[in-house]
Chain A
Amino acid sequence: MTVDAALAPFDPPTFAPPPPRPAAPPAPLPPGAVSRLELLLRDPDAFLEALDLAAAAPGASAEMASLTRVLVGAVAVGAGLFGSVVGAHRGGLQVLFCTAKVPLILLVTLVVCTAPFAAFARAASLPLPPRSVVALALASCARFALVLLGLAPFVWLMEGWALGYHRVILAVVAVCAVAGVAAGRLLFTGLARYGAAGTRVGLAFVAVFGLVGAQTSWILRPFVVRPRSTSIPFVRALEGDFLGALGTTARSSVGSYAPAARCAGSSCD
């Protein structure tokens, strides 16, 4: 008797691999607002399948309208609460201002960028009707806002450590970048189903959305107010641009206050 034959009874039994599960049919959108937002956050693939199902259903208009209300509400509440945490760095009236302004950034940007998104999809011949384009863009924004809400305590922690004006701004930008990745995951998963052309449409949309979003946030400033500012307006006069200000902030945060980097006018505040 060989060793292998002797040890054979002690070998773990081998089982045939389980038969592959039949693909589950896509589930419809859950009824409650919270369940829908949970699905959006936790399982983007299932959310997209449910969205397709809802868009193709006979009573699609009512279902899509209900979903739109939920998503707009998520943007308003999620981004609003994040805004109030950002405004808390200065406190007082600024908390209220930021609670209103941060959701406005997302909603204004979305309104401006929906037309280009639909145009890119049309030019690339994606089988994506304008209604689905709007739903996908809005869902991505809602996911962005929900992640912002989830990371708001991080910004609050940074403010509590008294890291200073510039570093708090960089923390806010970093949190926005993380939320952007989460939103991009949903957007690109939704568009990648249409092949490489879908991905290219997503890239073009993200480029336009990023530029418009940066400019909208610039015209709705201030958010984190400089400590030496005495008055805090709701919005400042139109001057300068976002890219220049970001460069100045990055240099200032490492202590480099070159003459060229000094700001002028009310944007200094």
Chain B
Amino acid sequence: MTADTLPSPHFAAPRGLALGLAGAVAFGAAAGLGHGAAALARGAWMSPALFVGGALLAAPPLYLAASYSGSRASAEEVIAEVADVLGRAGVVLLGLAAPAAFFSATLRTPTAWALLVGLAVVVGAVAVRAVARRTLSHATTAAWLWTFFSLALGVRLLLALARHTPVAHLVYR
């Protein structure tokens, strides 16, 4: 699902940020629900670190890409677009918190990790693509470059966060 086709109503930037944060916290906490309080707390900070942190890290290069590719969008407008997509991703994550809690409580194999991380990756990837299509619609090459850069940033962030999870030994042998 992409949010780019139906841009209205836009979430105001603070509201989008708050929704993104709330959705990511709810999803992360729900994902850790079935594995004790420590996992719940870990999920509650790691998920926003991934989504909100990723958005904050990818926003400056987005503004540079937009301005160097001839866009007249101001920094405020770029931030508003990022916050809007982040807010929509937050709503989706809030909705996905129920299945995440269900899988966390009932799935006791490594598939659970793969499934929950996979869900987060899909939501993140769709959000990145939506931001690129909205802000860099006039410059296809710049849009794809920024998309790949942001996805690489997301993977880097995910690997860094994986150090704090029980599956760290699988990632860092």
The answer, yes or no, to whether B170 is at the interface (CB within 8 Å) is no
B151 to chain A, nearest CB (A): 19
B159 to chain A, nearest CB (A): 25
Interchain CB contact (< 8 A) of A123 among B1, B97, B99, B107: B1
Return the chain A residue nearest B97 by Cβ: A115
Question: Are A200 and B95 within 8 A (Cβ)?
Answer: no
Question: Are A123 and B109 within 8 A (Cβ)?
Answer: no
Residues of B within 8 A of A118 (CB): 95
Return the chain A residue nearest B106 by Cβ: A219
Residues of B within 8 A of A82 (CB): none
User: CB within 8 Å of B: which residues of A?
Assistant: 112-113, 115-120, 122-126, 195-197, 200-201, 203-204, 208, 211-212, 215, 219, 238-241, 243-244
Residues of A within 8 A of B108 (CB): 238-239
Residues of A within 8 A of B6 (CB): 124-126, 197
Q: A116-B99, A123-B88 are in contact. Are A196 and B5 (CB under 8 A)?
A: yes
Q: A125-B6, A211-B115 are in contact. List 14 more A-B contacts (CB 8 A).
A: A112-B99, A113-B98, A115-B94, A117-B95, A122-B91, A123-B1, A201-B1, A212-B99, A212-B102, A212-B103, A215-B102, A215-B103, A239-B109, A244-B109
Return the chain B residue nearest A117 by Cβ: B95
State A241–B147 Cα separation when bound (angstroms).
34
Interface SS majority for chain B: helix
Residues of B within 8 A of A197 (CB): 1-2, 5-6
State A241–B114 Cα separation when bound (angstroms).
12
Q: A123-B3, A240-B109 are in contact. Are A112 and B92 (CB under 8 A)?
A: no
Return the chain A residue nearest B115 by Cβ: A211
Question: Are A120 and B92 within 8 A (Cβ)?
Answer: yes
Question: Are A116 and B96 within 8 A (Cβ)?
Answer: yes
Q: A196-B5, A201-B1, A244-B109 are in contact. Are A119 and B103 (CB under 8 A)?
A: no
A235 to chain B, nearest CB (A): 11
Number of interface residues of B (CB under 8 A): 28
Question: Are A195 and B5 within 8 A (Cβ)?
Answer: yes
Can you list 11 residue pairs at the A/B interface with Cβ under 8 Å? A116-B95, A119-B94, A122-B95, A124-B2, A125-B3, A125-B6, A195-B5, A208-B96, A208-B99, A212-B99, A239-B109
State A108–B92 Cα separation when bound (angstroms).
20
Question: Are B96 and A241 within 8 A (Cβ)?
Answer: no
The answer, yes or no, to whether B9 is at the interface (CB within 8 Å) is yes
Q: A197-B6, A201-B1 are in contact. Are A238 and B95 (CB under 8 A)?
A: no
Return the chain B residue nearest A200 by Cβ: B1
Question: Are A112 and B98 within 8 A (Cβ)?
Answer: yes
In chain B, positions 113-148 with a C-beta closer than 8 Å to chain A are 115
B150 to chain A, nearest CB (A): 19
Residues of A within 8 A of B109 (CB): 239-241, 244
Q: A197-B5, A215-B103, A219-B106 are in contact. Are A241 and B95 (CB under 8 A)?
A: no
B152 to chain A, nearest CB (A): 24
The answer, yes or no, to whether B89 is at the interface (CB within 8 Å) is yes
Question: Are B5 and A116 within 8 A (Cβ)?
Answer: no
Question: Are A123 and B89 within 8 A (Cβ)?
Answer: yes
State A260–B103 Cα separation when bound (angstroms).
25
A13 to chain B, nearest CB (A): 51
State A190–B97 Cα separation when bound (angstroms).
25
The 5 closest A-B pairs by CB, nearest first: A119-B95, A125-B6, A116-B95, A123-B88, A200-B1
Residues of A within 8 A of B1 (CB): 120, 123-124, 197, 200-201, 203-204
